Amino acid sequence: MSLTSAKRLRKEMHKLQTSPPDEDIRMSADEDDIRQWRAYIRGPPDTPFAGGIYELKITVGQQYPMVPPCMRFVTKVFHPNVHFNTGEICLNILKKDWSPAWSLQGACRAILALLAHPEADSPLNCDAGNMVRAGDMRAFRSVARLYNEELASKDWPADF
């Protein structure tokens, strides 16, 4: 791991440990590998994801922060921009619009915004994308809420 990458990750970890807890995001690095992180995000209010806690796996490469981290949902999510089976997330800042100004926590914030505002033009989940593109938000919200109730946690993990 590059010194720049390791230094940046330690700085982000220190900030998380010394700042007041975020109401919507909890994160930690693996004790044995600072490049492996887990994050939990609270579904945004007034969305079908409200009330759910979703787990994300974050893998940070050697060139971080110059290159974005790989972030995937572990918890299955019904959303146009999230692949239902792999958890892959289609979000510009995790690809071509990444900037070293982004932090891991900032990227989690962007994912929360994406949950609240789906982009149906670049779907990884075609069923969800088709519902949103057709304007059938009632169907989309209904299916997303069903998966939220069935698959998302209702409480933060005990170790966070």
**pLDDT per residue as tens, the chain (160 positions):** 678 899 999 999 999 989 988 999 999 999 999 999 999 999 999 999 999 999 999 999 999 999 999 999 999 999 999 999 999 999 999 999 999 999 999 999 999 999 999 998 879 999 999 999 999 999 999 999 999 999 999 999 987 7
Per-residue CA distances from 39 to 59, 61, 64, 125, 136 (Å): 11, 17, 17, 22, 31
User: Given this model, what pLDDT does residue 94 score?
Assistant: 96
User: Does an H or E element contain 147, and which?
Assistant: helix 137-151
Report residue 65 CA to chain centroid gap: 17
DSSP 1-25: --HHHHHHHHHHHHHHHHSPPPSSE
Domain architecture of the chain: domains with CATH: 3-151 (3.10.110.10)
Token representation of residue 151? 């698959």
pTM for the whole structure: 0.95
CB-based burial label for 138 (10 Å; 0-12, 13-18, 19+): exposed
From the candidates 70, 90, 108, 126, give the one annotated as an active-site residue.
90
Is residue 90 part of the annotated active site? The answer reads yes
